[in-house]
Chain A
């Protein structure tokens, strides 16, 4: 929460520090609290831990140096995620490696049928998720995993809400196809069941 003194531009808090003996906290410290979210989002985009860390590194440097562009009181996490995704796509355009797969024609079914028997292994989902185009991965993480509203996701991604909905629908459709999920299969995908699967797998090692 900024005070009148902070709004005057005295971000180092020297004046308040002289009075209280302690420097005012740097508002940029809030960026640190969002590092885990940034990293998780970067992983969903890059699908590579090393590339994700590099992406977060670049994002933090940009956000730190351009923090004056952030409007206090607005969603800092969304602002940071926007910088991150813009950095990712800029890098991708330079490399021009990935081909957009808007109609899902390149999406293949997994080589082996997922062993769910009523339980969805997270590893199967992760593998299938990694096959989606980046544009679908990012909206699914924002909307499906991070709880962003369609409008918030649209603002973060710099596109229309209808585009977010469309990409999310296509992404879920592709996942359902790859994982061979269908209506009426009566699968139990509750969190407790999934966690039990993870625990069992962890115990086995």
Chain B
């Protein structure tokens, strides 16, 4: 069964949201992402970095 250009475009249109909603969603996703960025790095990651750097210096 072939998907015609028309039916494919029509299917895409049915999943797209209006531009204003798209902007609002993206803006709020950016805020969520920013909040994640501001979180403190866990000690485990800091220790990993220190360990990796230490291994480089030993070489």
Contacts and interface: CB of A to CB of B under 8 A. Distances in A.
Interface residues of A, number: 46
B45 A189 contact: no
Interface string A159-196: 00000001001101101100001110001011100110
Nearest to B36: A40
Interface string A61-85: 1001000000000000000000000
Contact of A145 (B33, B41, B44): B33
A176 B37 CA distance: 25
Given A39-B39, A57-B48, A172 B22 contact: yes
Interface in A101-155: 120, 122, 125-126, 129, 140-141, 143-146
B29 A173 contact: no
A6 interface: no
Given A53-B42, A60-B45, A173-B17, A122 B31 contact: yes
Contact of B52 (A56, A60, A170): A60
Interface of B: 12, 15-18, 20-22, 24-33, 35-39, 41-42, 44-45, 48-49, 52-53, 56, 59
Interface of A: 12, 26, 28-29, 32, 35-37, 39-40, 43-44, 53, 56-57, 60-61, 64, 120, 122, 125-126, 129, 140-141, 143-146, 166, 169-170, 172-173, 175-176, 181-183, 187, 189-191, 194-195, 198
Which 5 residue pairs are nearest across A and B when measured between Cβ atoms? A40-B36, A145-B33, A144-B26, A189-B24, A145-B29
23 contacts: A26-B53, A26-B56, A35-B49, A36-B37, A36-B39, A36-B41, A39-B36, A44-B33, A53-B42, A57-B48, A61-B52, A140-B26, A143-B26, A146-B33, A166-B12, A169-B12, A169-B15, A173-B16, A181-B17, A181-B21, A183-B18, A189-B24, A189-B27
